[in-house]
Structure 1
Amino acid sequence: MRRIPIRQHYSYRDMPARASGNAARLWEEGLPIPGTLAERYLTLRHLEPPTDDLRFHPRCPYRPKPWTTFHPALLVAVREGRRLTAIQRIFLDRETGKYRMKLMLGRPGQGAWQGGGRAASCLALAEGFETARAFTLIQGAPCWASLGARRLDQILLPQGLTSLILAVDNDAEGELAAARAALRYARPGLEITWMAPRGVKDWAEVLEASMGSLR
């Protein structure tokens, strides 16, 4: 057996986690949002009240063993149909309630955060959870989140849709994501439109600006 040279340094690198079982376990451990640090985060972002498929974990693991540390996190469910495929962990600062980092756990597949409402005929699709929630509060339309610009064209949409709104970010990546999604979802009987905010990056910033003007 060869000895590992002591001078060689082996460090941990973040890699996408694939174990959907771990995601399901963490989701089951999650707590209701009211009265938690996650509620404070939603309040800071003007995204209250809490919606479906959001939970709080007071000691959410970050990194695998032996590098594991534990932090409070907002859990965002990712579902393909109604099946949980992954969760996004939004790690929160214990003092301020603001988010520190966002990491996916599991295999999202064609899943999305669907807590923005069930769609009968019209559905909006945004990149981030916060953007999707803000779009619903502003426009009154159900909005799902792909949880990433690169996943905007990979979502399993409900059957029976006649209108799809791409609530994309106001940047080059958002424009490219919308173009890919429009091609991917194009079919007879489905009207696809783009809605990007003006003057700010995303719909979450639109909501924050509008709430700030009311103070």
Structure 2
Amino acid sequence: MTHNPTSETLDIVKRLGGQWHGHYALCRCPAHNDRKPSLSIKQGRRSILVHCFAGCSGQAVMSSIRRVLGRSVEDQNPTVAPHRLPNTSFRQIWEQAGPISGTLAERYLKEIRGITFIPKDVRFHPRCPKGKGRDVQYLPALIVGVFRLGQLCAIQRQFLDPTTAERTARMMLGNSRGGIWPSYHPGTKLHLAEGFETACAFQQIKALPGATCFGERNFSIVTPPSHIKGITLLPDNQAQAISLANTAIAERSTEDVPIDMLPCPDGFNDWADIIAPKRP
């Protein structure tokens, strides 16, 4: 659940020179020499929630905020997030991220991948953490939700070059085993691709809903939603991918849900190649 920021919270963000990204703001942390915004501030039910991605403690952050304001903010009864990312930090990143419309993530999908629609269950984070401890970096990223039986179980972080919008790295966070994107698949036939972009490309080309299990090796273990009556695998046009798809079909042949395979047309590595913009 999200909460509209109070006037006090709006004033704090303004005084810190922060910028709002949907329901949270990013500011330069007053508790350390912050050159790039690393402090997240959002409105809780009865408190402000603060989290410094550089590692400052919540107590240090709140003390510094009071010093900057020159007054007490005790009436906010702040609840402070721990300075270390917990095992469920993928949920925190997901909640902090916002819509992709007009962002670098939309540029990546449209300009780099040729995907002309905005997929559901994806978000954009302007400063997504990559790495841990002193090696952590804060980079713009497309966030793809991974769901198991409709519940968020992991996220795929696709880090993007801030100038070109090219993808620079792709990393999973959380337990994605058996998970798929998107959270809900309309219809009774699950068209399952190896990757997110391939699923989007198939959907754009065939006007049929696409899904991904994030790797051909997951074809055998994905848990289909209860309303699905059939599965069609969409492997890449590579020997290993076709082999893994055939293995999955054989292993799942005794299940109640029929399963088959639809490779992409000859001459392309995968469905995503078909719509990818031509490079000079």
| Corresponding position: 1:96 with 2:197 | no
Q: Aligned residue for 1:13? A: none
- How far is the alpha carbon of 1:145 from its aligned partner? 0.6
Q: Distance in 1 between matches of 2:171 and 2:256?
A: 36
- How far is the alpha carbon of 1:153 from its aligned partner? 1.7
Q: Distance in 2 between matches of 1:39 and 1:77?
A: 16
What is the DSSP-based 3-state SS (H/G/I as helix, E as strand, rest coil) of the residue aligned with 1:66? helix
Return the letter of the residue paired with 1:56: F
Task: Compare 34-43 and 139-148 and name the one that shifted more.
Answer: 139-148
Q: Aligned residue for 1:140? A: 207
Equivalent residue for 1:178, pick from 230, 238, 245? 245
Q: Aligned residue for 1:122? A: 189
Q: Distance in 1 between matches of 2:237 and 2:213?
A: 16
Where in structure 1 do 4 or more consecutive aligned residues deviate above 6 Å? none
What is the DSSP-based 3-state SS (H/G/I as helix, E as strand, rest coil) of the residue aligned with 1:85? strand
- How far is the alpha carbon of 1:51 from its aligned partner? 1.7
CA contact (8 A) 1:37 1:97 kept: yes
Q: Aligned residue for 1:83? A: 151
Equivalent residue for 2:134, pick from 51, 56, 66? 66
Q: Distance in 1 between matches of 2:87 and 2:118?
A: 24
Return the letter of the residue paired with 1:165: T
Q: Which of these two proteins has the greater Rg computed from alpha carbons? A: 2
Return the letter of the residue paired with 2:152: L
What is the TM-score normalised by the length of structure 2? Answer: 0.64
- How far is the alpha carbon of 1:190 from its aligned partner? 3.4
Task: Compare 181-190 and 136-145 and name the one that shifted more.
Answer: 181-190
Higher relative contact order (CA 8 A, sep 6+): 1
Q: Aligned residue for 2:173? A: 105
Q: Aligned residue for 1:4? A: none
Give the total of aligned pairs: 192
Return the letter of the residue paired with 1:140: A
Q: Distance in 1 between matches of 2:99 and 2:238?
A: 34
CA contact (8 A) 2:177 2:218 kept: no
Q: Aligned residue for 2:274? A: 206
Deviation readout 1:38-71 (Å, 9 max, x if unpaired): 0100112121321211000000111111210111
- How far is the alpha carbon of 1:201 from its aligned partner? 0.7
What is the TM-score normalised by the length of structure 1? Answer: 0.83
- Report percent identity of matched pairs: 35
Q: Aligned residue for 1:157? A: 224
CA contact (8 A) 1:182 1:192 kept: yes
